[in-house]
Amino acid sequence: MTFFKKPKKLIQEKEAPIQQDSPQEDNSKDNESVTVQKLSLDEMLTKVKEPFSATEDLLTHEIELPSDKSRIALLYIESIVDKQLVQSMILNPLFVTDKEINFASFKQMASIDLKKHTEIKQVQELLLQSNTLIFTEDTSCFYAMSTPVKTQRDITEPDNETIIRGAHEGFIENLSMNLALVRKRLKTPRLTVKYLQVGKETHTTIALLYVDNICDPEHVKEVDKRIKSIEADAVYTPGNIEESIEDKPFSFFPQMLSTERPDRVAANLMEGRVALIYDTSPTAHVMPVNFFSFYQSVDDYNKRWHIGSFFRFVRIMGFFIAMGLPAVYIAIVSFHFEVIPFGLILLIKSSLEDIPYPPLFEALLMELTIELIREASIRLPTRIGSTIAIVGGLVIGDAVVKAGLVSNLMIIVVAITAIAAYIVPSNEMSAAVRILRFPFMVAAATLGFLGIVFGFLILIFHLCRLYTFGSPYFAPIAPLNLADLKDAFIRAPFWKQNTRPKDVTAQKVDNANHTRKWDKS
């Protein structure tokens, strides 16, 4: 019971800051040291908190000790500190035991966990390493106790964004933990967290993250404004937020990067973007993003740069193949037979001869079958999922050709298309590509190459005129920025990546990557 009673006292103390003068009067003997230090406890706290700009997860608790009426202050970053630990390791020993205890005796009691520090410089580092700091009236030194937060569920690699090399950590359903995962990677005091609440009844907490001295304040303002304007009783999922704040709700393209990877979020934050992390959801959103953000994978940066570039290029090709290949095939077999080289004509003709219906129908049939298989395998547990793969892929694929319903070539085209659509590292973009190939197929079936050309014209122009949070979506190729191409079609080596992308309008363009200075001599 004492455990529950005591925090009340804590609140009382917090609510009555006016009483602060009395302890100062009491501590007449400390007055000398205060004059020497020229810093009162309050001043000390303000000074310590200064480098953290406006982050709201940095908390202070001021407590008046019952024994000698002296004030102490606890300082910690809420998101990475286990509050229960703070309660049991610091507050309970101070209050629960007999009234005679003062800070000196507490220090002796907890001497193993409690470390004394005198350098104010260390404050930032200690706070970021999930310590709880204890400041006393004697501001010449302070104490730190390690109180790291415990995980809720195991931090596992997100299934939808697996990589070969690199960190295998993913966000979980706990906001503090997710913030901790990001903070773990960006140990800078300039990483600012801003809590926002949406949903009149649900009070869903969103953390808006940005790096204070890199990110364009306009972006932060814009995101903040849009989220605050959401009026709804309930906001359940990140999808709700996404649809509420994206620029063009009718576009097929995702306008925010959804990811479950803290390393991806951290890298994007350092590029000057803004991230939203949600409580109760492992999905984080990054904005503003461009088209190529969806094609960047953490893997690229852990491979040798030639190989990383090659796979980046393959992925972008995948975009065009996934969208255009079935359409081109349909256009060729139904309009432009002449394009096929002489050697192939007989082959294609023999494959197509016995098919009773037009290529468009054939393609739609197979594409829809693939989508059915995909959807079914998501809903089923992994073991049954593989059964679906065998039944769907092998049995249907084989039988449908033997039955003469679909041509061999169409199966090949559809299979390549399906694979090409899945190589996008972002699930949303992959879905967009898969949906878009249907209009392309229809266009190809009605107007042949002309239909495809106009399809691409309109698609590319749509990308050109799309803006996300004020920055152009198709940057760095529209508007063209040659320097930023280094991380679009290819992945230039780390020592070449020494500027931030221009489209995010970061405050600091230079990211100080001069990692091969030793080579110059």
Partner 1 sequence: MNSHTITHRQLFFLVVQTQIGVGVLSLPFSLFTKAKIDGWISLIIAGLLIQFSILAIWKLCDRFPQNTIYEILPKIMGKNLGLVFNFIYTMHFAFISILILIMYNSIVGKWILFETPHWVIIFIMAAAGYYFITSSPREIVRFFVLVTPLLLILFVFILYAYTDVHFLYLFPVGQAGILTIIKSSSDAVVALLGFDVALVFLAYTTGTPAKKIKVISFASFCITVLYAFIVFTTYIYFNPEEIVIVPEPVLYMLKAFSFSIIERTDLIFLSVWIISVATSFISYLFITAKGVQTLFKLKDHQKGAPYVAIFCAMIAIIPNEKLEVLIWNKYISLTSLIFSAMFPIVLLLIAMLRKKQEKGAASS
Give residues in contact with partner 1 (CB under 8 A): 335-336, 338-343, 447-454, 457-458, 460-461, 464-465, 472, 474, 477-480
36 or 345: CB nearest partner 1? 345
Q: How far is the CB of 452 from partner 1 (least distance, A)?
A: 7
**Least distance from C-beta 17 to partner 1, angstroms?**
49
CA–CA gap between residue 493 and residue 283 (Å, rounded): 29
Residues 6+ apart with CB under 8 A from 391: none
Q: How far is the CB of 316 from partner 1 (least distance, A)?
A: 14
Beta strands in 279-424 (DSSP E): 284-287
Query: Closest separation between CB of residue 306 and partner 1, Å?
Result: 23
| Smallest gap from residue 458 Cβ to partner 1 (A) | 6
CB nearer to partner 1: give 163 or 452: 452
Which residue type does 390 have?
A: I
> Which DSSP string corresponds to 126-146?
HHHTTEEEEE-S-TT-EEEEE
Angle at 163 between CA 161 and CA 166, to 5 degrees: 120
| Closer residue to partner 1 in complex, CB, 134/441 | 441
137 or 216, CB closer to partner 1?
216
Pick the closer one to partner 1 by CB: 339 or 395. Answer: 339
Compute the least distance from the CB of residue 342 to partner 1, in Å: 6
Nearer of residues 399 and 480 to partner 1, judged by Cβ: 480
Q: Where are the alpha helices (DSSP H) in 404-467?
A: 408-422, 427-447, 449-464
CA distances from 388 to 64, 371, 379, 422, 443 (A): 65, 12, 11, 18, 32
Q: How far is the CB of 427 from partner 1 (least distance, A)?
A: 26
Among residues 337 and 495, whose Cβ is nearest to partner 1?
337
Tell the residue number behind the tokens 């309050």, with chain if given: 42
- Is the sign of the CA dihedral 322, 323, 324, 327 positive or negative? positive
Q: Are 176 and 130 in contact (CB under 8 A)?
A: no
Nearer to partner 1, 425 or 448 (CB): 448
Rounded Cα–Cα distance for residues 281 and 241 (Å): 12
Give the max Cα distance, the chain. Answer: 103
For residue 132, give the amino acid letter: T
Write down the least CB distance from residue 453 to partner 1, Å: 5
- Of 211, 190, 216, 268, residue with least CA distance to 507: 216
